[in-house]
Structure 1
Amino acid sequence: MNDHDPPAVPARRPRPADPADRPARLAVGVVGAGRVGAPLAAALTLAGHHVVAASGVSDASRRRAEELLPGVPLTTPQDVIARSDLALLTVPDDALPDLVAGLAATGALKPGQLLVHTSGRFGVSVLDEAARAGALPLALHPVMTFTGTAVDVQRLVGCSFGVTAPEVLRPVAEALVVEMGGEPEWIDESARPLYHVALANGANHLVTLVAQSRDLLAAAGVRAPDRMLGPLLGAALDNALRAGDLALTGPVARGDAGTVAAHVSELRRVAPQALAAYIAMARLTADRALTAGLLKPEAAEALLDVLAEGGA
């Protein structure tokens, strides 16, 4: 194998029950032992790789490393890179370009070294400086929210990963994902921003909407908002994933302008900070219901008039 050949990664196969049944193959380093880095490194350990070093400056990062990567030394990012065949860059999106530039400028990177980032936003172009130094760039984004605990390792089983890599490294990238228990989904470099906004819009805004609904139910005197919302939201999510817009229900999809007007009035009185979001989502819901043929144009007109007045 010359300096620029990718390290050999075995073909896809199930994990053995005992990691000792499989010898370690790659020395893995983690730059940023945060909520994502530590669980991914733990998953690679289960696959038979050997985590040799990690970096992390916060107390939380150190605790995660102690829990999920026992015995792994915490050191500098440069030292992590020096020790590893495969380096995981699991830092916030905005910090990634500067980290890569710094590693390339200091000469820390080694030809033939796998350099993996987990950002959803970026493809492999963010690793261009590292690639020019001989590193082998991979973007492996796990489509999951992380707690930074051992439960994340189990949640990786069946989790989709957005994978972007040079074509020659595609088998390596996909095999690593499978070894962590995930399912690789190929994302073109040019599609990464759209891919990421789709995920953030769904997952992050879902949390905001659910938390807001809990607050409003509590204000209405409901003693267990979570118990009330759980079955409803679980069914709504399942229906939406199965049927898309055809799963829309409620006053907006039905064109009940009077009910929506009452909602607007109550939110203005009780939770004005939630009103703008309600109006924006109601307008988007009306548009999609119209397109899907669920909402009649004449009903939509009255509904949109109410929303326009409510947002004035």
Structure 2
Amino acid sequence: MKIAFIGTGNVSTALGLYFKTKGFEIQGYYSRNHQSAEKAAQLTHSHPYISPEELINDSQMIWITTPDDQIEKVARQLSELPVPQKNEKLILHASGVHSLEILNPLKDKGYQTACAHPLLAFSNPVLAQQKLNNVWFGIEKTDEENQQLTDFFNTCGNKTLSIDSDKKTLYHAAACVLSNYLVTLLNASYRMFEKSGVAKDDIQKATTPLLESVIDNLKDKNCADALTGPIKRGDEKTVSMHVESLSAFMPEMLELYTLMGKETLKMLASALNRI
């Protein structure tokens, strides 16, 4: 199968590198910024296209990996191009927030359509490619089974999640809470460490083992069982001391601390109700 990408960011470059390791031929990349297409093509030993029409004609699986806000426009533009005579091509997008309906202009022209969202934070494409072996892809439920896509991910060895079409944005919100807001929460923690007198340059290195231990705990346990700390132990005095300290030194963090504490109590109560 020949795979190509429209859009040349970290996601498409990482996916190209990854699919290449699985034995698939990476046909190339197209972008309005031809220099970025050349860069992605160079990394994947593929071709930088100067037109999307040529890319579609040369490929069997075409990924739209532009920013989310551009997918609808790209799909519409592609649907206006001449349709290949033998149209057995699959065009899919990798957005976690947009549903499959955004590709309807292409479906109406006879293309197979799908969406597959990789549950991974893409910052460096080379590092991301190394992690993709264990990544799950969010696949939208459809009335028609897309056997080509199912076989493709089976070949790659990746597992998939089935997502309700009308709850796609909720799925993406969940992914953002995990990947984006975890970073925000870490930043809040780092600020509190710094305020307590810990040297700023030491904070990240010193706390990484703690963070890694939390992630390790979660691998074999549910959230309630993996939880540690004063709320889990019922140390009300410790929590009160935290609140007093934040009120005195970092009142701007008090709302966040209180909110997280309330959510933690809800989680523990829910776990007890299931017993």
**What interval of TM-score do these two structures reach, taking the shorter chain for normalisation?**
0.7 to 0.9
Whether the 8 Å contact between 1:124 and 1:165 is mirrored in structure 2 is no
Aligned match for 1:249, one of 215, 228, 250: 228
Aligned match for 2:29, one of 48, 54, 58: 54
Whether the 8 Å contact between 2:30 and 2:52 is mirrored in structure 1 is yes
Q: 1:270, CA displacement in angstroms?
A: 4.1
SS of equivalent residue, structure 1 residue 156 = helix
Superposed CA offset, 1:4-53 (max 9, x none): xxxxxxxxxxxxxxxxxxxxx32x22111111011112222333333333
Partner of 1:162: 138
Q: Which moved more, 1:90-99 or 1:174-183?
A: 174-183
Matched, 1:285 2:275: no
SS of equivalent residue, structure 1 residue 119 = coil
Report the Cα distance in structure 2 between the residues aligned to 1:55 and 1:148, rounded to whole angstroms: 20
Report the Cα distance in structure 1 between the residues aligned to 2:38 and 2:196, rounded to whole angstroms: 40
SS of equivalent residue, structure 1 residue 36 = helix
Whether the 8 Å contact between 1:81 and 1:87 is mirrored in structure 2 is yes
Q: Which amino acid aligns with 2:47?
A: V
Where structure 1 has 5 or more consecutive residues not aligned to the other structure, the ranges are: 1-24, 295-312
Report the Cα distance in structure 1 between the residues aligned to 2:183 and 2:268, rounded to whole angstroms: 23
User: Which one has the bigger helix percentage?
Assistant: 2
CA 1:147–1:59 in structure 2 vs 1: closer, same or farther (change >3 Å)? Answer: farther
Matched, 1:135 2:111: yes
Q: Which amino acid aligns with 2:5?
A: V
CA 1:215–1:58 in structure 2 vs 1: closer, same or farther (change >3 Å)? Answer: farther
Report the Cα distance in structure 2 between the residues aligned to 1:182 and 1:68, rounded to whole angstroms: 23
Report the Cα distance in structure 2 between the residues aligned to 1:281 and 1:225, rounded to whole angstroms: 21
Q: 1:273, CA displacement in angstroms?
A: 4.1
Q: Which moved more, 1:114-123 or 1:60-69?
A: 60-69
Report the Cα distance in structure 2 between the residues aligned to 1:129 and 1:59, rounded to whole angstroms: 26
Q: 1:59, CA displacement in angstroms?
A: 9.0
Q: 1:235, CA displacement in angstroms?
A: 2.3
Report the Cα distance in structure 2 between the residues aligned to 1:278 and 1:78, rounded to whole angstroms: 53
Superposed CA offset, 1:223-262 (max 9, x none): 4222332222222233334132133332333444443343
Partner of 1:113: 89
TM-score for both structures, normalised by structure 1: 0.74
Aligned match for 1:276, one of 229, 249, 255: 255
Report the Cα distance in structure 2 between the residues aligned to 1:280 and 1:181, rounded to whole angstroms: 39
Partner of 2:206: 228
Q: Which moved more, 1:191-200 or 1:201-210?
A: 191-200
CA RMSD in angstroms comes to 2.8
SS of equivalent residue, structure 2 residue 133 = coil
User: 1:75-90 residue pairs with structure 2 within 5 A?
Assistant: 75-90=50-65
TM-score for both structures, normalised by structure 2: 0.83
Whether the 8 Å contact between 1:34 and 1:56 is mirrored in structure 2 is no
Aligned residue-pair number:
268
User: 1:58-207 residue pairs with structure 2 within 5 A?
Assistant: 61-62=36-37, 64-104=39-79, 106-110=80-84, 111-164=87-140, 166=142, 168-207=144-183
Where structure 2 has 5 or more consecutive residues not aligned to the other structure, the ranges are: none
Whether the 8 Å contact between 1:32 and 1:55 is mirrored in structure 2 is yes
Report the Cα distance in structure 2 between the residues aligned to 1:230 and 1:63, rounded to whole angstroms: 37
Identity among equivalent pairs (%): 26
Partner of 1:8: none
Q: 1:89, CA displacement in angstroms?
A: 0.5
SS of equivalent residue, structure 1 residue 222 = coil
SS of equivalent residue, structure 1 residue 157 = helix
